Amino acid sequence: MSLRRAGLALLRQQGAPLVESLSATTQQAQGAVREAVEGCSRGVSTLAVKQRMKSVGNIQKITKAMKMVAASKMRSATAATENSRGIVQPFLRMLGDMPDTQGAKAVFVPVTSDKGLCGGINSTVCKYTRATVKAVRDGAAAADSGEAAPEMMLVVMGEKGRAQLQRDMRDNIYGTVADTNKVKITFPEASAIAEELLKTEYDTARILYNRFVSAINQKPTIATVLSPDALERAAAEGGAMDSYELEGPDRPEMLMDLAEFQLAATLYNSMMENNCSEQSSRMSAMENSTKNAGEMLGKLTLTYNRTRQASITTELIEIISGATALAG
Amino acid sequence: MTLQVCIMTPDRIFWNDQADEIILPTNTGQMGVLTNHAPLITALDIGVTLIRSNSNWNPVALMGGFALVKQNQVTILVNEAESAQTIGVDEAEIAFQEAKTKLEQSQGEKQRVEATFVFKRARARYQVVKQL
């Protein structure tokens, strides 16, 4: 700054007559020009960087806020999710888990989120869905039981899954369930969805979701639920059910009720787990985003300062060379 | 030797404790389970289960489900469960009377089925607080 003042003083000194007549207006003009110049020629290169910095700063603020919201939602969802795991165990203990059961109709229920910006969990579930459909189809072909290939149906839960899967599996999509998370996820809600699922008269239902292992670990999981008929077939070959006496309705009806309850409970658990996974995944995605925005802001600040200093230096050179030209 | 009683709803594990005897509200009536009972699966109607520890009877309202008994382990899986602590006496009584009148006044199959369901739930809750 002192160099500039010295340059201007030199200008006034050397070009005395010229400058004196202009001195009064020059002071005013200088002020006005300075402002114009700051906003224009000197500021043009810095303006672009400054705008970029502003937008990146806003992004950083927004992603930070989103991360905190997701963190608090995850905290409250964790307890409920862990509680919902309890009831699935007795069913598995009694009815068994037979993931490679074949049947005439296979229903796949990928559980995804409705909102985005939650990392890779939805892509993972869709990828697994495609792979599982293929595996079941190939498995049935390999078994060579002479039956036709099983009919594959998709009941997609969540908008994101629907958007991804309808690109290449549109014909298989039987229906979509959206906005499950708008109000709390409740067991009656899961029961209603389970009832709709039962109407498809499936033989095997495979629910694909992200199991919440920890805040930084979400595991894609498949839960297999058999229809009452398939259970009957499996039980007829001898299973855990045989050791029990039955009080009340006879075995087919009992199995049907059990299968329906199991489907609703498993679906409820998978919805809760996926919701918790969504929040934790969003939390880490927004954390990364905030960090990246911060880094970008740092780099931009350096660029901005460099640009600013370069333009000041250029202006100084102009002034001084102008002054020396006048003097010399 | 005692029974290990575990009542589970989809939301949480409601009850997990030792007991000497448990009376279950099955579809075919009340059924008592003591230690060393044969393995059993039964469907449960909407009603009250009574759990005895020494000579204390604890009533719990169950809203339909299943009960499994094996090797002195009683696992009860229900849609919903309520114990006396969370039910208000007056509120339960009023709800019970209302449900009763509604059931008597119901017409048509659908109304009657719905009214029966509400009545059973109100009755179970009322019976829990009435026991005390």
Cα of B69 to nearest chain A Cα, Å: 8
Three-state secondary-structure class, residue A117: coil
Distances (CA, A) of A215 to A74, A78, A278, B34, B79: 8, 9, 10, 44, 29
By CB atoms closer than 10 A (0-12, 13-18, 19+), residue A92 is middle
pLDDT for the residue numbered A36: 46
Q: A83 to chain B: nearest residue by CA?
A: B12
pLDDT for the residue numbered A217: 93
ipTM, 2 decimals?
Answer: 0.88
Number of CB atoms found within 10 A of residue A104's CB:
16
Q: What is the mean pLDDT of chain A?
A: 84
pLDDT over threshold 60, residue B71? yes
pLDDT for the residue numbered B106: 85
Mutation choice for A interface testing from B12, B33, B73, B75 by most A CBs within 10 A: B12
Q: B45 to chain A: nearest residue by CA?
A: A248
Q: B66 to chain A: nearest residue by CA?
A: A258
Under the banding of pLDDT at 50, 70 and 90, the label for residue A207 is: very high
Instruction: Read off the pTM.
Output: 0.83
Rank A54-68, A85-99, B73-87 by mean pLDDT and report only the highest.
Answer: A54-68
pLDDT over threshold 90, residue A42? no
Distances (CA, A) of A219 to A79, A129, A146, A232, A266: 18, 14, 36, 31, 16
pLDDT over threshold 60, residue A18? no
pLDDT over threshold 70, residue A10? no
| Least confident residue range of A29-33, A80-84, A307-311, A312-316 | A29-33
Partner-chain contact A87 B27, CB within 8 Å: no
Which has more pLDDT, A16 or A181? A181
Partner-chain contact A244 B28, CB within 8 Å: no
Helices (H) and strands (E) in chain A, counts: 9, 6
Partner-chain contact A247 B31, CB within 8 Å: yes
pLDDT over threshold 50, residue A33? no
- Evaluated on CA atoms A235, A241, A243, A245, the torsion sign reads negative
Chain B CB within 8 Å of residue A250 CB: no
pLDDT over threshold 90, residue A193? yes
pLDDT tens by residue, B7-42: 999 988 999 999 999 999 998 889 999 999 988 888
What span, in angstroms and rounded, lies between the C-alpha atoms of A295 and B25?
65
Chain A CB within 8 Å of residue B38 CB: yes
What span, in angstroms and rounded, lies between the C-alpha atoms of A303 and A100?
59
pLDDT for the residue numbered A21: 47
What span, in angstroms and rounded, lies between the C-alpha atoms of A225 and A193?
14
| Least confident residue range of A128-137, A219-228, A252-261 | A252-261
Under the banding of pLDDT at 50, 70 and 90, the label for residue A316 is: very high
pLDDT over threshold 80, residue A167? yes
Instruction: Tally the residues of chain B.
Output: 132
The set of residues, in sequence order, having a beta carbon less than 8 Å from that of A315 and lying 6+ positions away, is: A4, A37, A42
What span, in angstroms and rounded, lies between the C-alpha atoms of A110 and A210?
10
What span, in angstroms and rounded, lies between the C-alpha atoms of A177 and A72?
25
Which has more pLDDT, A183 or A299? A299
Considering only CB atoms, A244 lies closest to which of B11, B41, B77, namely B41
Paired tokens of A22? 């202009």
For A280-309, what is the mean pLDDT?
95
Chain A CB within 8 Å of residue B46 CB: no
pLDDT over threshold 50, residue A185? yes
Proportion of chain A above pLDDT 70, given as a percent: 82
pLDDT for the residue numbered B18: 92
Partner-chain contact B42 A87, CB within 8 Å: no
Under the banding of pLDDT at 50, 70 and 90, the label for residue A238 is: low
Q: B37 to chain A: nearest residue by CA?
A: A245
